[in-house]
């Protein structure tokens, strides 16, 4: 498995695909990430066609165990961000 693409590499690749400069591509990437963060943290969902769907899910209160001590304790209800990967991306990854 290769190393994940860094933000700098992603901005450079995006600039090349767009035929623009890195500053514009970086601003576009930051704007997209900001919009996704704002929408999902507000309880909404964002679908990127061909990539997946980002959404917020609430987890109920539950009992968990500390693996180091074996001690069980109650963990409060919380929220977690989930991503459902699009079928098109799964299919392209599997050949």
Distance (Å, rounded) from C-alpha 77 to C-alpha 28? 35
Cα separation, 59 vs 32, in Å, equals 27
Based on the structure, what is the number of domains in the chain? 2
Position 2 scores a pLDDT of: 84
Per-residue model confidence as pLDDT tens digits over 67-93 = 999 999 999 999 999 999 999 999 999
In this prediction, the residues of the chain whose per-residue pLDDT falls under 70 are 1
- Map residue 68 onto helix, strand or coil: coil
Give the bridge partners for 83, in sequence order.
54
50 and 77, same domain (yes or no)? yes
Full residue range of the structural domain in which residue 28 is found? 1-42
* 76 and 35 together in one domain: no
79 and 56 within one domain:
yes
pTM over 0.75: yes
């Amino acid at each position: 498995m290769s190393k994940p693409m860094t933000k700098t590499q992603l901005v450079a690749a995006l600039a090349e695909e767009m035929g623009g400069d890195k500053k514009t591509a970086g601003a576009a990437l930051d704007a997209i990430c900001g919009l996704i963060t704002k929408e999902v943290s507000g309880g909404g969902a964002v679908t990127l066609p061909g990539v997946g769907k980002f959404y917020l899910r609430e987890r109920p209160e539950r009992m968990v165990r500390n693996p180091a001590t074996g001690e069980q304790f109650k963990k409060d209800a919380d929220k977690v961000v989930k991503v459902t990967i699009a079928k098109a991306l799964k299919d392209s990854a599997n050949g």
